[in-house]
Structure 1
Amino acid sequence: MIAPELPFFVYGTLRPGQVNHDLLLRGRTLREEPARLAGALLYDGPGYPYAVEAPGEADAMVSGDLVTARPEEYARLLADLDRLEEYAPGDPRNLYERVAREVLRVDGATPVRAWVYVAAPAVAAGLRARGKPIEGGAWPARR
């Protein structure tokens, strides 16, 4: 199955100014703009964050950036991001799952469907049980 060419919502090391942004995104994007993912909490992982879906939690919000890839870079960038996140469709060992979700541009009124790497079910369950959400939902702010 071919994935639709959606923008990406990034919230950790892929954000501008972070190490993986420079390695994977620099020069490969058309636009990068602040955005938010509602219905998710941000947890600290070993060196990187996890967005954990939290539907129904009114204050659940993750801050990040909406990244639109250059069309000629899209397929290769999608593969590179899947590799970075160690995501393979259907693999039970995934730490992250790539899911299509609505994110909001910072104007708060414009929803955009985007790819988001969220914690895989087993990882999410562990974080909910033993982790602590990052206050304010913004990972770079804690560095």
Structure 2
Amino acid sequence: MTAGRPPFFVYGTLLPGEPNHDRFLRGRTREERPAVLPGALLYEGPGYPYAIEGHGTVHGALITAAPGAYAELLRLLDDLEQYLGPDHPRNLYERVARPVVPVPPPGNPGGGTGGLRSAEPVRAWAYPAATAVARSLRTGGTPVPGGDWLSRRPPPAPRTP
């Protein structure tokens, strides 16, 4: 990771197979790797999730920008997440640096090749819910079981011959 240019942790509609992945990330990433955000809980939103601080783990992906794409990716994600600046009253999400733990590939507990090589925490940009949104979720939100946005998908229908 380049100093001042941390990777991004995504956990909802930016994950592979979700509606915003191709729109915002395709061609702008060098690496996308499963990861978890400890110390967080995941809640349902209106078609997208919110992470808030809590005693849990949120599953997602650690995204490293492609060479030359960092500034564009940062701007696009800030716009998507309705992040206007630190603690801005109209923020939907905040952009904060948090420790994120890459998940090693199955059968390779030491990690993969290139980029991030171990399950040591990595400081990454994450977009948790802004304060007012988090307060509302704590009092009346619907938690996503296991902190995994993709787990809410129904299993694929069996194929018939």
Say yes or no: TM over 0.5. yes
Structure 2: how far apart are the matches of 1:13 and 1:4? 25
* Aligned match for 2:140, one of 104, 126, 130: 130
RMSD across aligned positions (CA)? 1.4
TM-score norm. by structure 1 comes to 0.92
Which structure 2 segments of 5+ residues have no match? 105-117, 154-161
SS in 1 for 2:85: coil
What displacement does 1:70 show? 1.0
Q: Which has the higher contact order (CA 8 A, sep 6+)?
A: 1
Report which of the two structures shows the higher radius of gyration computed on alpha carbons. Answer: 2
1:57-81, Cα deviation, whole Å (9 max, x unpaired): 2xx0000000000130100110011
One-letter code aligned to 2:67 = P
Which structure 1 segments of 5+ residues have no match? none
Q: Does 1:82 align with 2:78?
A: yes
One-letter code aligned to 1:82 = D
Structure with bigger strand share is 1
Query: Which has the larger displacement, 3-12 or 89-98?
Result: 3-12
Tell me how many residue pairs correspond in the alignment: 137
Alignment of 1:115-126 (within 5 A): 115-126=125-136
What displacement does 1:132 show? 2.2
SS in 2 for 1:6: coil
Structure with bigger helix share is 1
Counting aligned pairs with the same residue, the percent is: 61
Which consecutive aligned stretches of 4+ in structure 1 deviate over 6 angstroms post-superposition? Answer: none
